Amino acid sequence: MEKSKYIGCAGQIYGVEEHRLIGGKGDGMRLFEVRNGLGLEFTVSADRCADISRLSFKGDNMGYFAACGYVGPQYYEREGLGFLKSFTGGFLTTCGLTAVGAPCVDEDEELPLHGTIANTPADKIWWGMDDRNITIQAIVNEGSLFGRKLQLERKFECSRIENKITLSDTVTNLGSNVSPLMLLYHVNIGYPLLSEKAVLSIPSKTVKARNAHAAKDIDTWNVILPPTEGFEEQCYYHTFEKEGFARIYNPDIRKGIEITFDPTTLDYFTEWKMMGEKDYVLGLEPGNCHPEGRDKMRAEGKLKFLAPDESKTFTMKFHFQEE
């Protein structure tokens, strides 16, 4: 008998529900709760670049949630490291669109940590569904009078046939001047997927430590530690040839995630290893830049640009597995 004969409302099994938060710094934030009917559930935060705040797979949490929790964009502080006060982390935080990484001054422009797009609400967001996919689309604008005018068109396609999410972003320069384009996908893995039992696989061509502190442990860049008091974050930069790929699997819960992307468009990959107590997270971060700041990218001659009316598309896939 067809499954549809057992239910009168699809929302019993799968679909999208729209909610608003009440109370605290997240008061009023718009959330889209997605379920694919196969055990994959995630939350798209409309007021934070349509990023993914929560994600679970068959009852187990996959992402990281920072101590600040949900924070509305009105509380964002761009000065210094103020970004960290509203960095929910979540499963996905988008960094960019004209600055990524350390705060800096580039061509007389003061740039905040990881740019401003993660704290920008979507101007439009909508969803649809067919027999194969649940789709959420959003438009997020980053522009100003006398300044740059970039537009991010985002699409999530969540399969109803397998536990997979495809993210496609198109960035367009709507302005009249050439603009820098920096983009980094801060994919954050948290407990219980992340623990000392987790196995990390990144079959990269090269691995480089960000600094001397990370270099001390470069031989164990793929070893996940238990929560460690006083741990100082470590970053490793990976490069790929044909396909960008990262996988983390935890035999304790018998679940894992595979991340795939095109290294011709997302030609940088940062592994952010933060094994601290209460701040326990692993970042798996494809991007078109490294996180040292725009001034460093420009000095290295590796900064990307968008011409007026030019668009660039970036795609990434998440495959959730149970064994």
Can you list the domains of the chain with their CATH numbers? 3-322 (2.70.98.10)
37 has a pLDDT exceeding 80: yes
27 has a pLDDT exceeding 60: yes
Calculate mean pLDDT across residues 310-322.
Answer: 98
- Classified as helix, coil or strand, 197 is coil
The reported pLDDT for the residue numbered 277 is: 98
- Residue length of the chain: 323
User: Which residues are 190's β-sheet partners?
Assistant: none
Nearest CA among 61, 41, 35, 65 for reference residue 250: 61
Q: What is the mean pLDDT of the chain?
A: 97
**Which residue intervals of 71-161 are DSSP H helices?**
none
What is the per-residue pLDDT across 153-171, written as a single tens digit (0 to 9) for each?
A: 999 999 999 999 999 999 9
The reported pLDDT for the residue numbered 2 is: 62
* Residues in Cβ contact with 129 at an 8 Å cutoff, skipping those fewer than 6 apart: 10, 15, 16, 135, 160
The reported pLDDT for the residue numbered 4 is: 76
The reported pLDDT for the residue numbered 1 is: 40
Calculate mean pLDDT across residues 289-303.
Answer: 98
The percent of residues above 90 in pLDDT, for the chain, comes to: 97
Q: How confident is the model at residue 80 (pLDDT cuts 50, 70, 90)?
A: confident
